[in-house]
């Protein structure tokens, strides 16, 4: 047995350490396809912050990398193991520590699932907005590390907007506390928001204080069907321009709708090329007026049908369909999920470009996404056993990012860089910003032990 494993055994209780090779296998990958993953020497199932510190200290002494993991639901390979690493899994640190209704925050361990936390605070009349489609099987720690978005961002913003403070184990094993429990605070640099989205490369999050809101009113839901994806895109631009306040504005194309119908045995309409789903949680007359305004604009911009959900259950069903879209597409074949965010005024152009790429490259691309934010997930579906299809899939995947950048967008709106888009980061942010990334990484992790090779290639580090 390796020296490192020997030392971990001495430092940790038996239930906090996995060395069995078969069990270790299940900690190698997140949900990203086509990303390389190495072989860990051990998995630490931390039960408390001290276990994380022990693992990081032992790794630092041995010069061995540490890869932090949440629920492994990520889509960019950020949680994939590297050879010889210690995986530090936070899945067993899954307790909600405090909910404060007046100060409106929750203190939580990172292993809590998003849906579990959301439901726990809802019981006290509170609302934690960030809601990735994977909310039933993604953890808060992973949400923080990738700065997750979700369906309600169009009104409520993303994860980083709700993070008041963090407890973080640094590369040398020390515990950093960032932020505060107050609504506002400007004492020093915003280390909290620097750690959020850094994908475990600057420290390992072991606790978070998250801001909450009062619960929202029951949403009203409507759907609109369009003959073309571009018409849907134009309607979205007009909806945004109108200033109407929606809590959700999603799009699914025919490929996606059909996949969902098959997978969930649903009966969504497939006669149209694209469906918009809109919600307003303004409540009462305001909510009704919002939804009516959206229907009016959709009709003006070519909707062939607008349907208002009769009751909340019907609205929830539409959302379930949207949330299941990615998994449904995965049942059609192998998938490569893009995550391009463009300025909203360019959404119709982007949809047209994606359709053009699919036709030109001759590959299936399901178009779905958070239309109200301009954050789209064109998903390339193909047969991975056919090398020629696999090649074309990669071409389409890359072209979609290219066109996103050309339209003034970003290569990732919410899924992160991981290893999947590492080579694209430099292209988006340029050499000066990359240098600054490397300088900050070197300042906080001089030996490059924390999740090495994720987010950026480390060059001379």
Considering only residues 359 to 418 of the shown chain, the ones binding its own copies according to CB under 8 A are 370, 373-375, 408-417
Provide the mask over 418-437, with x wherever binding to its own copies is found by CB under 8 A and - wherever it is not. ---x---x--xxx-xx--xx
The number of residues making up the chain comes to: 461
| Token couple for 337 | 């999920």
* Angle, alpha carbons 451-105-322 (nearest 5°): 65
Considering only residues 21, 22, 443, 459, which one is a binding residue for its own copies as defined by CB under 8 A?
443
Please tell me the distance from the alpha carbon of residue 396 to that of residue 380, in angstroms, as a whole number: 7
Binds its own copies (CB under 8 A): choice among 10, 15, 184, 459: 184
Distance in Å, CB of 325 to its own copies, minimum: 18
How many CA atoms lie within 13 Å of 189's alpha carbon, on the beta-carbon side? 3
Does 134 help bind its own copies (rule: CB under 8 A)?
Answer: no
Give the count of beta carbons closer than 10 Å to the beta carbon of residue 405. Answer: 15
Output the smallest distance, CB 314 to its own copies, in A.
25
CA angle 247, 104, 53 (to 5 degrees): 105
Alpha helices for 79-139 (secondary structure H): 114-122
For position 91 contacting its own copies by CB under 8 A, the verdict is no
Q: Which one of 112-120, 133-141, 311-319, 442-450 is the stretch in contact with its own copies (CB under 8 A)? A: 442-450
Q: Round to whole Å and give the CA distance between 72 and 246.
A: 31
Q: Which of 343, 360, 391, 423 binds its own copies (CB under 8 A)?
A: 343
Q: In what order do the strands lie in the sheet with 220-226?
A: 303-308, 220-226, 274-280, 248-253, 368-370, 375-376, 340-341
Contact at 8 Å (CB) between 219 and 315?
Answer: yes
| Interface with its own copies (CB under 8 A), residue from 118, 146, 247, 280 | 146
Residues 238-297 within binding reach of its own copies (CB under 8 A):
240-241, 243, 245, 282-286
Give the Å distances, CA to CA, from 357 to 6, 8, 381, 397, 459. Answer: 53, 50, 13, 9, 33
Applying CB under 8 A, the span of 31-39, 58-66, 97-105, 380-388 interacting with its own copies comes to: 97-105
Q: Minimum Å distance from CB 15 to its own copies?
A: 29
Is residue 459 involved in binding its own copies (CB under 8 A)? no
Contact between 68 and 90 under an 8 Å Cβ cutoff? The reply is: yes
Question: Measured from the CB atom, is 285 or 310 closer to its own copies?
Answer: 285
* Residue 119 touching its own copies (CB under 8 A): no
CB of 45: closest distance to its own copies in angstroms? Answer: 25
Binding flags for its own copies, 185-224, as an x/- string (CB under 8 A): xxxxxxx-xx-xxx---x-----------xx---------
Site size toward its own copies, by CB under 8 A: 86
């Amino acid at each position: 047995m390796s020296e490192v494993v020997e030392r971990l055994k001495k430092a940790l209780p038996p239930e906090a350490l996995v060395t069995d090779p078969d069990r270790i296998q299940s900690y190698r990958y997140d949900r990203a396809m086509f990303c390389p993953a190495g072989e860990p020497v051990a998995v630490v199932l931390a039960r408390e912050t001290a276990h994380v510190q022990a693992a990081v200290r032992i790794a630092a002494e041995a010069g061995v990398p540490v890869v932090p993991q949440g629920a492994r639901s990520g889509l960019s390979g950020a949680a994939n193991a590297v050879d010889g690493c210690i995986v530090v899994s936070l899945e067993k640190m899954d307790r909600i520590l405090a909910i404060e209704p007046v100060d409106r925050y929750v203190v939580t361990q990172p292993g809590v699932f998003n849906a579990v936390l959301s439901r726990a605070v809802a019981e006290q009349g509170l609302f934690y907005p960030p809601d990735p489609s994977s909310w039933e099987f993604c953890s808060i720690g992973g949400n923080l590390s990738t700065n997750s978005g979700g369906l309600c961002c169009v009104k409520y913003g993303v994860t980083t907007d709700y993070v008041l403070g963090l407890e973080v184990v640094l590369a040398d094993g020390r515990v950093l506390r960032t932020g505060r429990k107050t609504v506002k605070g400007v004492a020093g640099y915003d280390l909290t928001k620097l750690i959020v989205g850094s994908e475990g490369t600057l420290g390992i999050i072991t606790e978070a204080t998250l801001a909450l809101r009062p619960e929202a009113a029951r949403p009203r839901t409507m759907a609109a069907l369009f003959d073309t994806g571009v018409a849907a895109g134009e309607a979205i631009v007009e909806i945004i321009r109108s200033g109407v306040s929606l809590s959700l504005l999603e799009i699914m194309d025919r490929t996606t709708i059909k996949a969902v119908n098959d997978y969930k045995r649903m009966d969504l309409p497939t006669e149209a090329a694209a469906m918009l789903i809109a919600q307003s949680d303004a409540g009462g007359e305001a909510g009704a007026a919002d939804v009516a305004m959206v229907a009016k604009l959709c009709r003006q911009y070519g909707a062939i049908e607008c349907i208002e959900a009769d009751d909340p259950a019907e609205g929830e069903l539409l959302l379930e369909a949207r949330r299941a879209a990615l998994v449904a597409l995965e049942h059609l074949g192998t998938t490569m999920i893009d995550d391009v965010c463009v300025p909203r005024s360019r959404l119709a152009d982007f949809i047209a470009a994606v359709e053009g790429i699919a036709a030109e490259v001759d590959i299936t691309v399901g178009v779905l996404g958070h239309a109200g934010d301009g954050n789209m997930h064109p998903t390339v579906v193909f047969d991975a056993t056919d090398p020629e299809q696999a090649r074309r899939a990669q071409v389409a995947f890359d072209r979609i990012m290219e066109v996103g950048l050309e339209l003034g967008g970003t290569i990732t709106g919410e899924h992160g860089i991981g290893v999947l888009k590492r080579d694209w980061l430099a292209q988006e942010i340029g050499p000066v910003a990359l240098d600054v990334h490397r300088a900050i990484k070197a300042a906080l992790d001089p030996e490059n032990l924390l999740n090495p090779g994720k987010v950026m290639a480390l060059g001379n580090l």
